[in-house]
Amino acid sequence: MKRIGILGGCFNPVHAGHIRLALEALEGIGLERVDLVPCFSPPHKDEDGLLGFGLRSELVRQAIDAISGLRVDTIEEHLETPSYTWRTLAAYHEREPEADLFFILGAGDLLALPRWKQGPDLVRQANFVVAPRAGLGRQEVEECIAGHWPEAERLAHPLPGSTAAWRFAPASGNNEPTFILLLPIPALDISSSHLRELWRQGRSLHCLTPWAVSTMLLAREQDVAATWGPRRAHRP
């Protein structure tokens, strides 16, 4: 059975934290590949300041070019909007029915998951790989799972690549259990909002995002400025 990771996001823009998270999941959990899935129409965010889907997708494509095991998937462009995660997972199951799916997200998103559309049920549509982020770690994840999914079985021994794991009994029509896995990952305190602010200030984004991304943002400065705001000349 193929083991496929899914890392969704607005990627506005994609940055080194996204790429490193995808690689940590790919190698740590032992996945065949990780698909970076740009959100077409985010249900929980204002689309003001959001670069066009085509540009964001191309930035991701440039960012992961030549990185084995990572690819961009524009599946949400062809789905009904808004781009709910349950729709994306359902589309993956339909397209690749034999695949074992691993949905990758930060700890903050897991804590918000019960408020997502069909959020409480998503943990039975796929395995969830959770990365500590922004000061949220094991304790907060444990409390979230205990509060919202008390039926989850905490495993005495974590699964390979994880520091903690919880198992859910198979959902109706599914013969396999699903898991929430806590993934150890180096702390990279990078956010897309910070990169957008640096860009408006005329500062360099190198090392915070792949070289190809920062280069393309400059090459498409007029398009980017129309969405993020003008880029001013930076004087050190």
* 172-231 pLDDT tens trace: 666 789 999 999 988 788 999 999 999 999 999 999 999 999 999 999 999 999 999 999
| Domain coverage including residue 224 | 192-228
For residue 234, is pLDDT > 80? no
Instruction: Identify the band that residue 153 occupies on the pLDDT scale cut at 50, 70 and 90.
Output: very high
Question: Which pLDDT score is estimated for 173?
Answer: 64
87 within domain boundaries? yes
Percent of the chain with pLDDT over 90: 86
187 within domain boundaries? no
In terms of domains, do 41 and 88 share one?
Answer: yes
In terms of domains, do 100 and 215 share one?
Answer: no
In whole angstroms, give the CA distance from residue 29 to residue 129: 9
90 within domain boundaries? yes
CATH of residue 134: 3.40.50.620
Q: What is the pLDDT of residues 100-145, one digit of tens each?
A: 999 999 999 999 999 999 999 999 999 999 999 877 788 999 999 9
In terms of domains, do 121 and 219 share one?
Answer: no
31 within domain boundaries? yes
143 within domain boundaries? yes
Q: Between 45 and 117, where is the model more confident?
A: 117
In whole angstroms, give the CA distance from residue 72 to residue 64: 8
In terms of domains, do 153 and 63 share one?
Answer: yes
In terms of domains, do 32 and 68 share one?
Answer: yes
In whole angstroms, give the CA distance from residue 57 to residue 117: 24
In terms of domains, do 205 and 120 share one?
Answer: no
In terms of domains, do 178 and 201 share one?
Answer: no
**By the 8 A CB rule, do 89 and 171 touch?**
no
**By the 8 A CB rule, do 83 and 43 touch?**
yes
Calculate the average pLDDT of the chain. 94
Specify the residue for token string 């990771």: 5
235 within domain boundaries? no
In terms of domains, do 114 and 7 share one?
Answer: yes
Total number of domains constituting the chain:
2
pTM of the predicted structure, to 2 decimals: 0.95
Instruction: Identify the band that residue 20 occupies on the pLDDT scale cut at 50, 70 and 90.
Output: very high
Percent of the chain with pLDDT over 70: 97
Q: What is the side-by-side strand order in the sheet with 164-168?
A: 70-72, 33-38, 3-9, 100-106, 127-131, 178-182, 164-168, 153-154
Question: Which pLDDT score is estimated for 189?
Answer: 85
Question: Which pLDDT score is estimated for 233?
Answer: 80
For residue 236, is pLDDT > 60? no
In terms of domains, do 208 and 127 share one?
Answer: no
234 within domain boundaries? no
In terms of domains, do 82 and 40 share one?
Answer: yes
233 within domain boundaries? no
In terms of domains, do 47 and 156 share one?
Answer: yes
In terms of domains, do 113 and 223 share one?
Answer: no
